Amino acid sequence: MTLLEPPRSQVNSVSFAGGLHKTVDDRREARSGRDMSVPGPPSPDGVLAGPPEVLEAGGLTPGLSDTSPDEGLIEDLAVEDKAVEQLAEGLLSHYLPDLQRSKQALQELTQNQVVLLDTLEQEISKFKECHSMLDINALFTEAKHYHAKLVNIRKEMLMLHEKTSKLKKRALKLQQKRQKEELEREQQREKEFEREKQLTAKPAKRTRAGCGKVWSSKDLSGPGLQISSQKSRSSLKMTLLASVVSCSRARLFTCFLRLGSQQASPLQLHTGASLTAKSHYEVLVLGGGSGGISMAARMKRKVGAENVAIVEPSETHFYQPIWTLVGAGAKPLSSSGRPTAKVIPSGVEWIKARVVDLNPDKNCIHTDDDKKISYKYLIIALGIQLDYEKIKGLPEGFAHPKIGSNYSVRTVEKTWKALQDFKEGNAIFTFPNTPVKCAGAPQKIMYLSEAYFRKTGKRPKANIIFNTSLGAIFGVKKYADALQKIIQERALTVNYKQNLIEVRADKQEAIFENLDKPGETQVISYEMLHVTPPMGPPDVLKTSPVADAAGWVDVDKDTLQHKRYPNVFGIGDCTNLPTSKTAAAVAAQSGILDRTISLIMKNQRPVKKYDGYTSCPLVTGYNRVILAEFNYNAEPLETFPFDQSKERLSMYLMKADMMPFLYWNLMLRGYWGGPAFLRKLFHLGKS
């Protein structure tokens, strides 16, 4: 397009306007021809033409008119359809492509806006998620957690290094000792050999066989053959044999006898499972806890050590009742454990394996090392199983600070650490909705923690909460009343029917379910949390023929003999006895079970009955204990001739010092069957 060429739109509009004017002019001429009788010359613009009479009548004044020259014309204007169609086609042909392009562009713009809005919403949601995830406090907490893990790993490595160094030194000393002993034995053998040479070098009167020398009683009693009482029996035999034989074959035979006698050694504490394990025992004990060791010691005296075996995989045996004081910092953890090899009765076979199957119909069991062991009598003492994993967030939550549990050797020291690190806030103690061992332990640590807070000046800043799934603080009213008084005096908060279901250790939150209103939960933040885990029978018992519907060993509550298998017996926490699961209960049960098995072995009916005796030393402070003792009917069965529901220092000393001594030195050796005889003595023979 040149500079003089008008735009296309302008040309079209001019042509359109020209056509419209032309049409109007044609219509005007036709109208003028119809209205005027005599046509005249065309009037100039703005001057109306008409007959003289009309002008004279004053209808119109010559000159400029106030009305439009087209007035009346447009009103009567008749539009041709063809022109309209042409006009419409022209408009459409001109503007339609642009309109279509505009419509398409508008649609694309709309679609782009929709996509942009969706993308924007997604980015906003991602931003919100990232913002919630990237919590600075959580990151710092996680970093502290991993730092603590690294510190603990370093400590464990140092401890392992120290232990390894000690073991190396000990091994070196043992090696040196053995070399010294071997040297001494070699020197002794040389001396004996020289003596034999001196004795055999003298001429001797031979027998007809030519291999022997006849000695008189005088020769045997002479100074050359005096044998001191300090010499071993094997040395005596060797000296006599060397004295009576002189041929080379006899000397060779003598050397073999000497070698065999030197290798013989006294019996060890217990025989090794890998070398001397048998496939059948008269009495087989499952479990090396308090009940298993006690019964093994008792059975050893009845049938002999070589006829008794214990199946137990653990290397260390723990006195667990003391862990309450370990968690409160009153006792070291090392005082609670001893090697299993040292507590198993001497001569009793230790089968170091785990039981995986019981077949009482065939009188045998199977272990995890694919061994089958049969028995004549079976004693089940497998204890109770801790199920931390039934609480969401555990046991991995123990890797965080501020949380511990006195029920595991791995977590008991974490309780003391959480107690020391406490500053201010909620100190929460829990009791699960399952049977537990030592049902008083969950609240013992609460009383000890309160005493520690008072001692360190933190008590005003501590809100102590005991959330229990039970409906009462204790099952025996006499002791429950005494504990309620302590709770009120020390301003402790106790919430009943509250069960711990989740721990958010990274946020220091505990979630509890209201057992009276299932599904209703409550979130409580904590500065310290002590967890008592859910517990249950060991997995191997749950599907075993010896278990009841709940998975516990189904025994008679009076005799502890199994209800369906007369040669099977149960003791301790793994049984369904309706009494509290404590070490004191195991001690009393061991005495009853000993008598029951003795009569069963004699084909007699058991007569001694277990009354459900159990004991719970309720530690209420660092120097106070309420000694609770009761029976099947939750009736007090107290040993001492005074009110045991009162806090006493003497009972604390018995708990902390006397009971461990009784456990290690009497109970595990099968000599402690509970305080029944003391109770009779103190109460003048009244049981």
| Helix intervals (H) in 287-350 | 290-303, 323-327, 340-343
Rg for the chain (alpha carbons), in Å?
53
Tell me how far apart the 2 most distant CA atoms of the chain are, in Å: 203
* Count helices and strands in the chain by DSSP H and E runs: 19, 21
The rounded Cα 642 to chain-centroid distance in angstroms is: 42
Phi-psi region of 118 (alpha: psi -120 to 50; beta: other; left: phi over 0): alpha
DSSP 284: E
Residue 398 near residue 410, CB atoms below 8 Å: yes
| Residue 482 CB contacts under 8 Å (≥ 6 apart), including other chains | 626, 645, 646, 647
- Distance (Å, whole) CA 310 – CA 329: 34
Q: Identify the burial level of 41 via C-beta atoms within 10 angstroms of its C-beta, where 0-12 means exposed, 13-18 middle and 19 or more buried.
A: exposed
Amino acid at residue number 184: E
Candidates 130, 211, 247, 438; catalytic one = 438
Query: How many CB atoms sit inside 10 A of residue 641's CB?
Result: 11
| Residue 669 CB contacts under 8 Å (≥ 6 apart), including other chains | 297, 345
- Distance (Å, whole) CA 687 – CA 678: 10
Q: Identify the burial level of 501 via C-beta atoms within 10 angstroms of its C-beta, where 0-12 means exposed, 13-18 middle and 19 or more buried.
A: middle
Helix axes 412-421, 441-456, angle to 10 degrees: 30
Residue 476 near residue 618, CB atoms below 8 Å: no
Q: Identify the burial level of 146 via C-beta atoms within 10 angstroms of its C-beta, where 0-12 means exposed, 13-18 middle and 19 or more buried.
A: exposed
DSSP 437: B
Name the phi and psi angles at 625, rounded to 5. Answer: -145, 140
Active site residue 616: yes
Residue 1 vs residues 7, 12, 230, 453: alpha-carbon distances, Å:
8, 15, 139, 98
Residue 495 near residue 488, CB atoms below 8 Å: no
Name the phi and psi angles at 686, rounded to 5. Answer: -85, 125
For every residue of 198-227, DSSP letters joined together read HHHHS---B-TTSSBB---HHHHTSGGG--
Query: How many CB atoms sit inside 10 A of residue 307's CB?
Result: 20
Catalytically annotated residues:
438, 616
